[in-house]
Amino acid sequence: MDWARIGLEFVLGTETSAASWHGKGPHQSYPDTGERARPEWLTFPLVAVEVDYVRTGGPTYA
């Protein structure tokens, strides 16, 4: 079965300096690594959670 792929982007105001969420993280967690992230409340500065992913094709935003 082919799954649909979607992208999601959040744009925050310049006055926002931190992000808080409940979940697994803040780093990537894969079941096959033998390491697992526990769900918890997390708060980090935005510069610590930003990830620059390579974008191939699609629209570009200025």
For residue range 6-49, what is the model confidence (pLDDT) as tens digits?
777 778 888 888 988 888 776 677 777 656 777 889 898 988 87
Q: Tell the residue number behind the tokens 């094709």, with chain if given.
A: 57
Q: Give the model's pLDDT for residue 41.
A: 92
Counting Cβ atoms within 10 Å, is residue 19 exposed (0-12), middle (13-18) or buried (19+)?
middle
Question: Among 52, 49, 53, which residue's Cα sits nearest to residue 18?
Answer: 49
* Dihedral angle sign, alpha carbons of residues 40, 41, 46, 52: positive
